[in-house]
Structure 1
Amino acid sequence: MRKSIIGDAAIEVIAAEGMRGLTHRAVDRFAGLPSGSTSYYARTRAALLELAISRMVELDEVTIEPRPGKLAEYVAEFAYAAITRGRTRMLARYEFALEATRRPELREAYDRGGLVIRRRCAEVLADRGSTEPERHARVLVAWLDGTIFDALAGTGSLRPPGLAELTRDAGEVLAGLGVAG
């Protein structure tokens, strides 16, 4: 329980202040924990980063369970949630992505989380008739990543897409892949 609180607070600090703002003290303060609490669970900065990445993966696993119905609507709702109520986690994810390009010790943990999402996406696409689920998952995840990034940090942040637009776009992407949307 305490590790989840620390992981959530670390994600919030990274999103708000970037990687340079991530300190044990900042996480304690953000989580409302006594000074030294974060250090007890994550002795080093690397351990704190690993804890935050693990928490993001844990949270992602909860959100990637599509329900029966139109896949395009689910994909659009996933993107919309990432742009709106999941904004903080996505901003932290982009910070991690950049940091992982410079720090090999983070690359493995970051990629592990991304592979979970890609595998689950490939499974869903295979269930929906994809003839090349791994390749199609890569394309769909790339569309999601690009759309979400543009809406949060790119020029698209001036007018982020709404749910209806995302649903239409996701349907077009899935149709282009030959997958039942």
Structure 2
Amino acid sequence: MGLIGDAAIELIAREGLRGLTHRAVDRAAGLPPGSTSYYARTRLALLELAIARMLEHDDVDTAALGDGRPEDLADAVAGFLHESITAGRARTLARYELALEAARRPELRAAYDRAGGRLRERAAALLRAAGSVEPDRHARLLVAWCEGVLFEAIAGAGTATPPGRAELVTGTRDLLRTLLPT
């Protein structure tokens, strides 16, 4: 199902949700016709499968953020952001497409919110390990800041000049200084 999920993510990023069909996923994944509909019978199931696959990728990517030591956290978060803007650009773009769809379709909202909740939980754990006195609140701020940086670089007015890794490290350090005790 990873192959189907990855193909769905790429299609969403390239063509938007209108381009996402079971047949298109079959073609993109190089599968026989009908393969995708065997695993995801409905469009909702296909959207949920794409979200689940993004969550699998996020789990791998956020595991690489380390143990939350303050001196390493800014570099790790900046690396995650840089990867999301560069090599992971398609997945980030697909995430925004799915976010908008979840805003319009309550039946998709739960799957999307589960994925976001996992990311906030990971951020809270990292911030707790780094010494945050309010890790849940600070995680919400960190994730919101990251989402803003990513949106600006992927779909906003900053797409022509997305931030480089050094700029992301500096910005992340600035933010973490306001959240963590010195």
TM range (shorter): over 0.9
Q: Paired residue for 1:22?
A: 20
Residue equivalent to 1:143 = 145
Matched residue, 2:108: 106
Structure-to-structure mapping, 1:151-166, within 5 angstroms: 151-166=153-168
Change (3 A) 1:90 1:134: same
Gapped regions of structure 1 (runs ≥ 5): none
Number of equivalenced pairs: 178
Contact kept, 8 Å, 2:10 with 2:90, in 1: the verdict is: yes
Q: Structure 1 vs Structure 2: percent identity of aligned residues?
A: 60
How far is the alpha carbon of 1:31 from its aligned partner?
0.6
Retained in 1: the 8 A contact 2:130–2:180? no
Matched, 1:47 2:49: no
> Could you tell me how far apart the structure 2 residues matched to 1:151 and 1:46 are?
28
CA separation of 1:88/1:179 partners in 2, compared to 1, >3 Å: closer, same or farther? farther
* Structure 2: runs of 5 or more not aligned: none
Give 1:170's aligned residue. 172
Q: After superposition, where does 1:55-134 map in structure 2 within 5 Å?
A: 55-65=53-63, 66-67=65-66, 70-134=72-136
User: CA, structure 1 residues 179+115, in 2 after alignment: closer, same or farther (shift >3 Å)?
Assistant: farther
Q: Provide the C-alpha distance between the structure 2 equivalents of 1:125 and 1:59, rounded to a whole number of angstroms.
A: 21
Partner of 2:9: 11
Calculate the TM-score normalised by the size of structure 1. Answer: 0.96
- TM-superposed deviation, 1:50: 1.0
8 Å contact from structure 1 (residues 12, 88) kept in 2: yes
- Whole-Å Cα distance in 2 between the matches of residues 67 and 115 of structure 1? 19
Partner of 2:36: 38
Matches of 2:78 and 2:122, distance apart in 1: 16
* Equivalent pair of 1:125/1:179 in contact (CA under 8 Å): no
Letter of the 1:38 partner, please give it: T
**Structure 1: which 4+ aligned runs deviate by more than 4 Å?**
none
Question: TM-score of the superposition, structure 2-length normalised?
Answer: 0.95
